[in-house]
Structure 1
């Protein structure tokens, strides 16, 4: 809130209504209705959305032209809410602790400077783990959006438009997200 508080659209703004309507339907089928969900729309050209632990949903206005419809927004919000359903933030915390312990152990045996260890663990463990979480969130998100009566086929158009908008994105192996052009498995 300290970073984007000045750019958050008021609840009565049409974009806020649009996002909240879709978010409420996805949350309702998620099995996580007990959380105190908050929906915030940030007036910013960034093409992104995220959910913080505890049910804090943030959507940047820059992604709205890419999602275009409620079905398209449901693909994005289903994915983001799926991270909460799957408890990915807790998984990441556990994995990070293991990686830290591995770095310390490897430093005794291989690389006292940590450089090799950091690269090995970053590209060999952390990024693939993050990509696995992203694929799992895609899968769960598609189920959530379908259960909320949105058309999962809309996700195809969203990811095509996102790929077009992100032509300058880094190669997949340098990213925590799978490529937008990669088929969903």
Structure 2
């Protein structure tokens, strides 16, 4: 019997651990690694939520503001089509011109006023909010943390085995594992969001108008290579959404809970 090196043994253990903690994402059926429990994710969300409230402070609009009322109305309509128990959905509108929105574990949604200024109707706002809802339903935050946990031993093993400078190894690991996973999550959230929009009675074709306008304002970051990005380029996003909408018109997107993403 051939001698098994320590490196090979560690790699085998890591592979077994990865397979044991693989699971399917709701709706899309994508296979992914997740070692983070729902309870831990919830606790992480509470910590991050407190930090964000402290960071934004007086920039947060009141719950009686028209902007907050609009976001809450659209969100409430969208979450009626979800079946995710135990989520305490909370909306905060940040009074800045930044075109950004994000969601924390536990359903804490932050929308910057710049996004609201860009949206011309409820359907376009639903594009943004359904995307954020999808991140929660898919537990993307848990997946991201889990991916980082598996990257740490990978990073250390690569440094030991290759002798390459740690900074270069870290960059290589990010390009190989972290960034592709982030882009996959964004595509998945786009896909699921279209599904939730249609089920809630919103028009998913509004995504094309919104992202086209966003691209015109933003540009597409052409100097940055695709493999270094955390999000898809606008034109790639528009192309993919167009393909999903074509399937939707043929009854495939809205009629299947386990459609293939790509």
| TM-score between the two structures when normalised by the length of structure 2 | 0.68
Q: Is 2:216 aligned against 1:175?
A: no
> Per the alignment, in what secondary structure is the counterpart of residue 133 of structure 1?
helix
Contact 1:99 1:121 in 2 (8 A): yes
C-alpha distance in 1 between matches for 2:148 and 2:57: 29
Whether 2:206 is the aligned partner of 1:130: answer no
**Alignment partners' CA distance in 2, 1:114 and 1:99:** 13
**Structure 1 match to 2:125:** 73
Instruction: Decide whether the 8 Å contact of 2:198 with 2:204 is kept in 1.
Output: yes
Which secondary structure state, in structure 2, belongs to the residue aligned with residue 2 of structure 1?
helix
- Cα deviation, 1:127-179, whole Å, max 9, x if unaligned, reads 11100000000001110111111000000011111111211636333321001
After superposing on structure 2, the runs of 4+ consecutive aligned residues of structure 1 that deviate more than 2 Å are: 168-174
In 2, are the aligned partners of 1:19 and 1:39 still within 8 Å (CA)? yes
- Cα distance in 1 for partners of 2:220, 2:229 equals 12
Q: Distance in 1 between matches of 2:210 and 2:57?
A: 27
- Residues 1:33 and 1:151: Cα distance change in structure 2 (over 3 Å): farther
* Partner residue in 2 for 1:36: 88
**Residue in structure 2 matched with residue 111 of structure 1 by the alignment:** 163
Instruction: Report if the CA contact (8 A) 1:111-1:117 is conserved.
Output: no
CA distance in 1, matches of 2:90, 2:150: 32
Query: Considering only aligned residues, what root-mean-square deviation do their CA atoms show, in Å?
Result: 1.4
Structure 1 contact 42–59 (Cα < 8 Å) conserved: yes
2:80 aligned counterpart, secondary structure: helix
Residue deviations 1:95-141 (CA, integer Å, cap 9, x gap): 11111110011111013531221111111211111000000000011
> Which entry has the higher C-alpha Rg, 1 or 2?
2
Given that 1:46 and 1:60 are in contact with CA atoms closer than 8 Å, whether structure 2 keeps it comes out as: yes
CA distance 1:23–1:13, shift in 2 (3 Å):
same
Pick the aligned partner of 2:197 from 145, 151, 158: 145
Question: Could you tell me whether the CA contact under 8 Å between 2:220 and 2:233 is conserved in 1?
Answer: no
> Are 2:58 and 1:6 aligned?
yes
Give 5+ residue unaligned stretches, structure 2.
1-52, 244-262
Tell me the matched-pair count: 185
The whole-number CA distance in structure 1 between the counterparts of 2:86 and 2:117 is 31
Provide the secondary structure at the position in 1 that maps to 2:109: strand
1:27–1:33: 8 Å Cα contact kept in structure 2?
no
C-alpha separation in 2, matches of 1:96 and 1:150: 36
Structure 2 counterpart of 1:15, from 51, 55, 67? 67
TM-score, length-normalised on structure 1? 0.95
